[in-house]
Structure 1
Amino acid sequence: MVTGLTDRVMNAVATVREDLAAARRRDPAATDDLTVLLTSPGLHAIWTHRVAHRLWARGAKLPAMVVAQGARSLTGVEIHPGAAIGRRFFIDHGMGVVIGETAEVGDDVMLYHGVTLGGRSMERTKRHPTVEDSATIGAGARVIGPVVVGRGAQVGANAVVVKDVPELATAVGVPAQVRTGAAHPEVQIDPAIWI
């Protein structure tokens, strides 16, 4: 029993360290780990989500929702406890981010403030986006419905995405238009992606 608890604590500490390192890599304003640890609402929301998600997965749905709503009140980030979030996920600034119940977010994904990963259906089915590994979604973007934002893709600020975005592509505009290959820095940088 003690070994199991020790392992869980060590895993939690390793995850926090990994998240802090990811934040420092992605945020030039992140000057040191202690400041990020104490002041990053995006990380606080993610860490709280991990607790809420565990509760949700164990069937403790009401406590999970209470924890999630507490995090929303404190951070301005709303992540449904049913959403599946990968490792090294980072939300820069955080305020106004909404991630729906059936959303799936891969590893090394970055969201900016005001992003919505929302649903388009009232059916009890997969109704929120899947964001694959290493994708970036710009400030104010709306990704709506069970669409897929492919690995390494970028969604520009204020874009409205209602169709799949292929791997390594960039989607910009309302409605979003996809530009394949634009996410490859060696090919081109689309100025509309900058947040």
Structure 2
Amino acid sequence: MAHGALLTNGHRVKPGTQTVRAAVNSIREDLDAALQRDPATTSRLEMALASPGLHAIWVHRVAHVMWRRGGRWRLPARLVSQAARTATGVEIHPGARIGRRFFIDHGMGVVIGETAEVGDDVMLYHDVTLGGRSLDRVKRHPTVGNKVTIGAGARLLGPIVIGEEAQIGANAVVVSDVPSYSVAVGVPAKVRSSKPVAAQPDPYADPALFI
């Protein structure tokens, strides 16, 4: 067997082929997740061409790989992320960790800080901030669990934890942990309900609907 070749289903696969396939599958997964959450778009092609939120996360994934290499890769990673910010209105630090099937509806004004961690199947509306409350080089941005929805204009500040399937209302300012399966609204945000997402009108609707 040629050096570096892999066997997949009995066939030789060139090095890098599996990486390409994984990237293509990830893009398709993102597109299908976005279509599920955006009733204004009806095709993968339209979503791929006209969704700044998807463009931002795709560029972020490239920048994040560069960032994790460290050293001389850090500055190019920042420049890539800044180019995405200019093009999409979405600013994601290349150090932020973003899960699968992440979707930003509308995009504009979203800011995600360096030490933020975002789980799978998370949805953000526009003008959301996952920001810090400290200038120390420590974990200073939120950790967001799986299947969380964050409404337009919400501010999540500090190393807080948002439990899985929680929902954050529009314009809420969240500075403390939010339990799983909860709806948090207000300034400062308070938990207003704690019923399963399945019992609510639409798990991907703007949580402002539940206020």
TM-score normalised per structure 2: 0.88
Partner of 2:119: 106
Q: Is the 8 A contact 2:151 2:207 kept in 1?
A: no
Aligned with residue 56 of structure 1, among 67, 72, 92: 67
Question: Displaced runs of 4+ in structure 1, greater than 6 A?
Answer: none
Could you tell me which runs of 5 or more consecutive residues in structure 2 were left unpaired when the two chains were aligned. Answer: 5-12
3-state SS of the aligned residue for 2:171?
coil
- The answer to whether residue 47 in structure 2 is matched with residue 36 in structure 1 is yes
Over residues 72-104 of structure 1, what are the superposed CA-to-partner deviations in whole Å (9 max), with x where a residue is unaligned?
000000000000000000000000000000000
User: Are residues 1:177 and 2:195 paired?
Assistant: no
Number of residues of Structure 1 aligned to a counterpart in Structure 2: 195
Match of 1:118 in 2: 131
SS at match of 1:178: strand
Match of 1:19 in 2: 30
* Distance in 2, Cα, partners of 1:133 & 1:73: 28
Contact 1:139 1:157 in 2 (8 A): yes
Any idea what SS the aligned residue of 2:156 has?
Answer: strand
- 1:57-136 superposed matches below 5 A: 57-59=68-70, 60-136=73-149
The answer to whether the 8 Å contact 1:154/1:183 transfers is no
Give the Cα–Cα distance (whole angstroms) in 2 for the partners of residues 178 and 103 of structure 1.
22
Distance 2:163 2:44 in 1: 30
Q: CA deviation at 1:185?
A: 4.4
Q: Which has the larger radius of gyration?
A: 2
Deviation at 1:183, TM superposition (A): 5.0
Percent of residue pairs identical: 64
Structure 1 match to 2:7: none
Work out whether residues 154 and 193 of structure 1, in 8 Å CA contact, stay in contact via their aligned partners in 2.
Answer: no
Amino acid at match of 2:42: T
For residues 60 and 114 of structure 2, the distance between their equivalents in structure 1, rounded to whole angstroms, comes to: 12
Secondary structure at 2:191's aligned position in 1?
strand
Matched, 1:194 2:205: no
